[in-house]
A and B are shown apart, each in its own frame.
Chain A
Amino acid sequence: MRVHAQRVGALLGGLSFPALSMADWTVNMTPGVTGTSNDIFDLHMTIFWICVVIGVVVFGIMFWSIFAHRKSQGAKPANFHENTLVEVLWTLIPLVILIVMAIPATTTLIDMYDTTESDVDIKVTGYQWKWQYEYINEDFGYFSNLTTPKDQINNRQTKGENYLLEVDNPMIIPVGKKVRFLLTANDVIHSWWVPDFGVKKDAIPGFINEAWTRVDKPGTYRGQCTELCGKDHGFMPVVVKAVPEDEYNTWVADQKAAAEKERELTQKDWTMEELMERGEKAYATACAACHQADGSGAPPAFPALKGSAIATGDMAAHIDVVVNGVSGTAMQAFGGQLNEADLAAIITYERNAWGNKMGDMVTPKEIFDYKNQQ
Chain B
Amino acid sequence: MSAVAGTHAQDHHHGPARGISRWLLTTNHKDIGSMYLIFSFTMFLLGGTMAMVIRAELFQPGLQIVQPEFFNQMTTMHGLIMVFGAVMPAFVGLANWMVPLMIGAPDMALPRMNNWSFWLLPCAFLILVSTLFMEGGAPNFGWTFYAPLSTTYGPPSTTFFIFAIHIMGVSSIMGAINVIATVLNMRAPGMTLMKMPMFVWTWLITAFLLIAVMPVLAGVVTMMLMDINFGTSFFNAAGGGDPVLFQHVFWFFGHPEVYIMILPAFGAISHIIPAFSRKKLFGYASMVYAVGAIALLSFLVWAHHMFTVGVPVAGQLFFMYATLLIAVPTGVKVFNWVATMFRGSLTFEAPMLFAIAFVILFTIGGFSGLMLAIAPADFQYHDTYFVVAHFHYVLVPGAIFGIFASAYFWLPKWTGNMYDETLAKTHFWLSFVGMNLAFFPMHFLGLAGMPRRIPDYALQFADFNMVSSVGAFMFGATQLLFLLIVVKCVKGGEKAAAKPWDGAEGLEWTVPSPAPYHTFSTPPEVK
Which residues in A have some Cβ–Cβ distance to B below 8 Å?
9, 12-13, 17, 19-20, 22-30, 36-37, 39-40, 43-44, 47-48, 50-51, 54-55, 58-59, 61-62, 65-66, 69-72, 75-83, 86-87, 90-91, 94-95, 98, 101-102, 105-106, 108-110, 112-113, 128, 152-155, 159, 161-165, 187-189, 191, 193, 195, 198-202, 204-207, 209-210, 223-235, 298, 300-301, 327-328, 330
A109-B455 CB under 8 A given contacts A77-B278, A199-B379: no
Cα distance, A23 to B449, chains bound together (Å): 14
Which positions in B face A, CB cutoff 8 Å?
Answer: 60-64, 68-69, 72, 135-136, 140-142, 146, 148-149, 152-153, 155-156, 237-238, 241-244, 277-286, 308-310, 313, 316-317, 320-321, 324-325, 327-328, 331-332, 334-335, 338-347, 356, 359-360, 363-364, 367, 370-371, 374-377, 379-380, 382-384, 443-444, 447-449, 451-464
Which single residue of chain A is at the shortest CB-CB distance from B382?
A200
Contact of B347 among A19, A36, A70 (CB under 8 A): A70
Give the distance in Å from the alpha carbon of A351 to the alpha carbon of B156 in the complex: 29
Total contacts A to B, CB within 8 angstroms?
305
Known A-B contacts A81-B279, A199-B379; A204 and B459 likewise in contact (beta carbons under 8 Å): no
Contact partner, A58, options B310, B338, B449, B460, Cβ 8 Å: B338
B residues near A29, Cβ cutoff 8 Å: 380, 447-448
| Contact (Cβ within 8 A) A152 B332 | no
Select one of B141, B153, B281, B379 contacting A187, CB under 8 A. Answer: B153
- Chain B, Cβ-Cβ closest to A162: B458
Q: Assuming the A-B contacts A87-B283, A187-B148, are A105 and B136 also in contact, with contact meaning beta carbons closer than 8 angstroms in the complex?
A: no
**Whose C-beta in chain B lies nearest to the C-beta of A61?**
B338
Contact B363 A109 (CB under 8 A): no
Q: Could you tell me the distance between the alpha carbons of A208 and B453 in the complex, rounded to whole angstroms?
A: 25
Instruction: Give CA–CA (A207, B306) in the complex, Å.
Output: 15
Residues of A within 8 A of B451 (CB): 193, 224-226, 233-234
A227 to B328, CA, bound (A): 31
A58 near B458 with CB under 8 A, answer no
If A94-B327, A223-B449, A226-B308 are given as contacts, then 8 extra A-B residue pairs at C-beta distance below 8 Å, sorted by A number, are A26-B460, A27-B448, A69-B277, A87-B332, A206-B241, A207-B310, A226-B382, A231-B69
Contact assessment for B379 and A200 in the assembled complex, using a CB-CB cutoff below 8 Å: yes
Closest to B352 in A: A66
User: Is A23 touching B370 in the complex (CB atoms < 8 A)?
Assistant: no
Residue of A nearest to B387 (CB): A226
Smallest CB separation, A227 vs chain B (Å)? 6
How many angstroms between the C-alpha atoms of A59 and B454 in the bound complex? 35
B346 touches A71 (CB 8 A): yes
Can you name the residue of chain A whose Cβ is closest to the Cβ of B277? A77
Known pairs A65-B338, A153-B63, A154-B62; A58 contacts B363 (CB<8 A): yes
**A24, B463: Cβ atoms closer than 8 Å:** yes
Asked if A75 contacts B346 (CB within 8 A), the reply is yes
Do A102 and B320 have beta carbons less than 8 Å apart? yes
**Contact partners of B243 in chain A: CB under 8 A:** 189, 204-207
Closest partner residue, chain A, to B246 (CB atom)? A189
Nearest residue, chain B, Cβ from A300: B136
Query: In the bound complex, do residue B382 and residue A58 qualify as a contact, i.e. CB atoms below 8 Å apart?
Result: no
With a cutoff of 8 Å between Cβ atoms, the chain B residues found around residue A201 in the complex are: 308, 310
Min Cβ gap B462→A in Å is 4
- Whether A207 and B380, one on each chain, are in contact in the complex, defined by CB atoms closer than 8 angstroms, is no
